[in-house]
Chain A
Amino acid sequence: MDVKAIREQFPILDQEVNGNPLVYLDSSATSHKPLAVIEAIDTYYKKDNSNVHRGVHTLGTRATDKYEGARDKVKDFINASSREEVIFTRGTTTSINTVAYSYARANLGEGDEIVITPMEHHSNIIPWQQVAKATGATLKYIPLQPDGTVTLEDVKTTVTNNTKIVAMVHVSNVLGTVNPVKDVAEIAHDHGAVMLVDGAQSAPHMKIDVQDLNCDFFAFSAHKMCGPTGIGVLYGKKELLKNMEPVEFGGEMIDFVNLYDSTWKDLPWKFEGGTPIIAGAIGLGAAIDFLNQVGFDTIASHEHELASYAMEKLSLIDGLTIYGPTERSSLVTFNLDQVHPHDTATVLDSMGIAIRAGHHCAQPLMKWLEVTATARASFYLYNTNEDIDRLVDGLRKAKEYFGDVF
């Protein structure tokens, strides 16, 4: 892969931060946007801006065609069987909440179970806590192995005939664990439960095929995969979505409105109340085109190289603890001796290196790891081995700087 050519597509990378060329290792929080995405949004606002699904005028038609065209791109991107299964949302959080509010509250009651894992992001924990409180259902956790993986044996013991929903992260944003969601979906289905996959950290890095995974719901965000913030997708199987009530009511989502009663539009629009995130959807469409052009095989092998190189180099640093399994997605979560990750991140930032420090919206997982916070370096297609060398150099400096403290 020609990383230099890729990097030229990301103007933000070409800058100095605190007197050093920027090294951006925080793509799991949000990725940068290539020119193609920025220009697609720019062009929409400069030439096509209009509301969708209502204008008789030419601009309205253009905006609608672009918005709905983005839906078709998403459909192909995740291999959904129909465009009606692709709902635009504000992001992964809204997608999961839509299922929790609409599907779960209508279908769960006392005695029913929701099964998740301790490695979930808060957005795949709290909606289910709220469902449990509202419906009387029980929230259950599949235990983690010491290396931060789940075994299918444990899935089989946790999921029972009372389980109605299994919700699991595809790729952990902290551990980098890639979960066997296809096998878990099969176990869920054997017990009559539906399977929701949180794909926020997988969709940017690997080819997603929702039909092959056979999951019932799949949620992801555009901004972690080169697209804009504020837009994401909820995929759901048509037969489930058809029977679900909308969560938001108002414009755009209605068929007929009477004084005391109304009816909804067909799928997918009944879930898209209000003027949708038109520019966001168009930007997401452009991001999908960009990623397809580079190719997921190419992206995956580049990231695999980066992750292996990072693991190799980081493991040479004395006193550095790495969390998570050996087989992982393209991120490394770690702590440096007794240096608090916040302090590590500040030292690195002073050298122009951006990493994430904190609890990564995964407090239960921090508790499981028996730490209050960690540092995380995450990689994407525009990162290089030199970026990792700079990180390693920075960590040695941080160690040196704080070395005489302890």
Chain B
Amino acid sequence: MSFDNLDTLYRQVIMDHYKNPRNRGSLDKESMTIDMNNPTCGDRIQLHILVEDGIVKDAKFEGEGCSISLSSASMMTQAIKGKEVQDALKMSKLFSDMMVGKDIDEDGLELEDIQALQGVSKFPARIKCATLAWQAFEKGVSEEEVSE
């Protein structure tokens, strides 16, 4: 049999991020740390973000998980770094729309590598894997607002 169907899920770029994760590691104590896990499978992401003047200055992640959750975390840190928090949140919204198969309006935002995860929407059991890191980001930003 062919793996065409699988290839829509596991694109080359995903495998690249899985094999060579970008921004893996931690930040100094000035940053914010958010733990997020997927209780159904045991995947764990620890996201570190440094937000200054409404801009995501730096983002790194640690954790264990499947190819989808780790590559998504890698792509996300790459995508949000240097962005205004509001734009990063817009990307997060675009990403969840993409996961449920909605047509998305990029609205001037470059999704770049993240686009590769579009195929995940055809695998409902794996959507949670892909959104884990984004959920961590949203949680972190909302906590920051509360603390301000």
Residue B48 at the chain A interface, CB threshold 8 Å: no
Q: Which of chain B's residues have a CB closer than 8 A to the CB of A350?
A: 3, 5-6
A264 to B43, CA, bound (A): 46
Residues 228-255 (chain A) with a chain B CB within 8 angstroms: none
Binds A, one of B65-73, B79-87, B99-107, B108-116: B65-73
List which B39-59 residues lie within 8 A (CB) of chain A.
40-44
B residues near A351, Cβ cutoff 8 Å: 1
CB-CB nearest in chain B for A363: B42
Complexed CA–CA distance, A349 and B65 (Å): 19
Measured in the bound complex, the distance between the Cα atoms of B6 and A402 in whole Å is: 11
B19 touches A342 (CB 8 A): no
Interface membership of B146, Cβ < 8 A: no
Given A18-B5, A401-B3, A359-B41 contact (CB < 8 Å): yes
Alpha-carbon distance between A149 and B147 when the two chains are bound, in angstroms: 49
The answer to the question of B24 belonging to the interface, with a C-beta cut-off of 8 Å to chain A, is: no
Tell me the chain A residues, 343-367 only, with Cβ under 8 Å from chain B.
343, 346-347, 349-351, 357-359, 363, 366
Q: In the assembled complex, which residues on chain A have CB atoms less than 8 Å from the CB atom of B19?
A: 405-406
Query: Contacts A401-B3, A405-B18, A405-B19; is A342 near B44 (CB within 8 Å)?
Result: no
Of B1, B64, B123, the contact of A372 (CB 8 Å cutoff): B64
Please name all residues of chain B whose beta carbon is closer than 8 Å to the beta carbon of A357 when the two chains form the complex: 41
Chain B residues closer than 8 Å to A343, beta-carbon distance: 10, 66-68
Known contacts A359-B42, A372-B44, A406-B19; A342/B68 CB under 8 A: yes
Nearest-neighbour CB distance to chain B for A19, whole angstroms, equals 8
Residue numbers in B under 8 Å from A20 (CB-CB) = 1
Per the bound structure, the CA–CA distance linking A197 and B66 in Å amounts to 34
The answer to whether A405 touches B42 (Cβ under 8 A) is: no
The number of chain A residues with a CB under 8 A from chain B is 24
In contact, B15 and A340 (Cβ under 8 angstroms): no
In contact, A405 and B15 (Cβ under 8 angstroms): yes
B9 on interface, CB distance cutoff 8 Å: yes
Alpha-carbon separation in the docked complex, A359 to B40 (Å): 8
With A18-B5, A405-B15 given, is the CB distance from A346 to B123 under 8 Å? Answer: yes
List the A side residues contacting B68 at CB < 8 Å. 342-343
A358 touches B41 (CB 8 A): yes
Give the chain B neighbours of A358 by CB distance below 8 A: 40-42
Please state if B41 and A346 are interface contacts (CB–CB under 8 Å): no
Measured in the bound complex, the distance between the Cα atoms of B66 and A402 in whole Å is 12
Smallest distance from the beta carbon of B40 to chain A beta carbons, Å? 6
Contact in complex: B3, A342 (CB < 8 Å): no
Q: Within 8 Å of chain B (Cβ to Cβ): is A87?
A: no
A116 within 8 A of partner (CB):
no
Among candidates A18, A366, A406, residue contacting B42 with C-beta atoms closer than 8 Å: A366
| A373 is an interface residue with CB less than 8 A from chain B | yes
Chain A 150-181, CB within 8 Å of chain B: the 1/0 string? 00000000000000000000000000000000
Shortest CB distance B125–A (Å): 7
Known: A351-B1, A372-B65, A406-B19. A346 touches B42 (CB 8 A): no
In contact, A346 and B9 (Cβ under 8 angstroms) = yes
How far is it, in angstroms, between the C-alpha of A20 and the C-alpha of B9 when the chains are bound?
19
0/1 string, A376-406, CB within 8 A of B gives 1 = 0000000000000000000001000110011
In the complex the two chains form, what is the Cα distance from A26 to B68 in whole Å? Answer: 23
**CB–CB B3/A346 < 8 A:** no
Is B129 interfacial (CB 8 A cutoff)?
A: yes
Instruction: With a 10 A CB-CB cut-off, give which of B5, B40, B67 has the most chain A CB atoms.
Output: B67
A340/B67 in contact, CB under 8 A: yes
Return A187 CB to nearest CB of chain B, in Å: 33
The residue of chain B having its C-beta at the shortest distance from the C-beta of A349 within the complex is: B125
- In the complex, chain A residues whose CB is within 8 Å of the CB of B67: 340, 342-343, 402, 405
Interchain CB contact under 8 A, B6 and A373: no
Q: Which residues of A contact B6 (CB under 8 A)?
A: 346-347, 350, 401
Considering only CB atoms, which chain A residue lies closest to B19 in the complex? A405
CB A48 to nearest CB in B, in angstroms, measures: 38
Contact of B15 with A346 in the complex, beta carbons under 8 Å:
no
CA distance A401 to B67 in the complex (A): 13
A-B contacts, 28 listed (Cβ < 8 Å): A20-B1, A340-B66, A341-B66, A342-B65, A342-B67, A342-B68, A343-B10, A343-B66, A343-B67, A343-B68, A346-B6, A346-B125, A347-B6, A350-B3, A350-B6, A357-B41, A359-B41, A359-B42, A372-B43, A372-B64, A373-B41, A373-B43, A401-B3, A401-B10, A405-B15, A405-B19, A405-B67, A406-B19
**Residues of B at under 8 Å CB distance from A?**
1, 3, 5-6, 9-10, 15, 18-19, 40-44, 64-68, 123, 125-126, 129
Residues of chain A at the chain B interface (Cβ within 8 Å) = 18-20, 340-343, 346-347, 349-351, 357-359, 363, 366, 372-373, 397, 401-402, 405-406
* Nearest 6 A/B pairs, CB to CB: A340-B66, A342-B66, A359-B42, A358-B41, A373-B42, A372-B64
Q: A350-B5, A405-B19 are in contact. List 4 more A-B contacts (CB 8 A).
A: A341-B66, A346-B126, A372-B64, A373-B43
